Amino acid sequence: MTSPVLEARRAPVDALRIELAVPFASFRDPMFPGVSRCLPVPPPSTVRGMLAAATGRTSEPVPLGLAATAGAHGIDLETYHPIAADGSNPAIGGRVAPRKGGMTIRERPFLADVRVTLWIPEADGRRFEAAFRRPVWGLRLGRSQDLVHPVGPPRWTVLRPADRAMVGHAVAPAGAHTAPQAVSLRMAVSISIDRLSTDYRPFLWCADAAGDHDLVDAFRDELDGQAVWLLDEVRR
């Protein structure tokens, strides 16, 4: 007997398509602690945080499709003012004086001209269509200064089940397609409200747009033929 979940993935889905532009962004890779390494795409948890800012809710554990790419990347230098755990270099006026050993320079990789496309099924898409007209909070991806700019108004499209389609820059679950140029990324899907637990999963993503390939549990956007995977979040 076929499960209801698989049957649902074989049916066409009406979805809201949202296109976003971010001039500069930085997504720290938590798999490399102590090293400033930037993920090439925003993690699903980061995208859901932005969606929660739009609606004003605490969290938005909604299924969503995600595709992203960046036009360029670079490395910036930042000044850090760490405070010693033993309190030997207390902050004065919000920062630690350099003579107390409280300043260090670190590299911070960043992305430029980031483009993100989201697909949200109709059940939740109607809410986000209204939310993106008047977001409750400012829309950001990554750090607080990484502002998001909608590229035109959201559009409605139909996602049709597909065994083969253009992969492009879609974020896909591990094993979901056969594009040889895909790289494996381990990214956060969700973070608990108290920030004590994070759900990490492996994904596939192509820096160079991939053409038609065999797909698993995927859809095809009828607007441009792009492959889409609806990424689910574990509700906590």
Query: Would you write out the chain's pLDDT as a tens digit for each of its 236 residues?
Result: 433 444 555 799 999 999 999 999 999 888 777 667 899 999 999 999 999 999 999 999 999 999 999 999 999 887 776 666 666 666 665 555 555 555 677 788 999 999 999 999 998 999 999 999 999 999 999 888 889 999 999 999 999 999 999 999 999 999 999 999 999 999 999 888 888 889 999 999 999 999 999 999 999 999 999 999 999 864 43
Pick the CATH number of 9-73+111-228 from 2.40.128, 3.30.70, 3.40.50, 1.10.1660: 3.30.70
Domain boundaries defined on the chain:
9-73+111-228
User: What residue has token string 């389609």?
Assistant: 165
Distances (CA, A) of 154 to 9, 177, 194, 236: 23, 27, 32, 29
CB-based burial label for 160 (10 Å; 0-12, 13-18, 19+):
middle
Give the residue from 39, 36, 34, 43 showing the smallest Cα distance to 66: 43
pLDDT, residue 77, reads 82
The pLDDT tens digits for 50-105 are 999 999 999 999 999 999 999 999 998 877 766 666 666 666 655 555 555 556 77
CB-based burial label for 208 (10 Å; 0-12, 13-18, 19+):
exposed
Sign of torsion over alpha carbons 201, 11, 169, 77: negative
pLDDT, residue 234, reads 46
pLDDT, residue 6, reads 47
Long-range CB pairs of 191-197, under 8 A, 24+ apart, other chains included: 191/45, 192/236, 193/58, 193/59, 193/236, 197/236
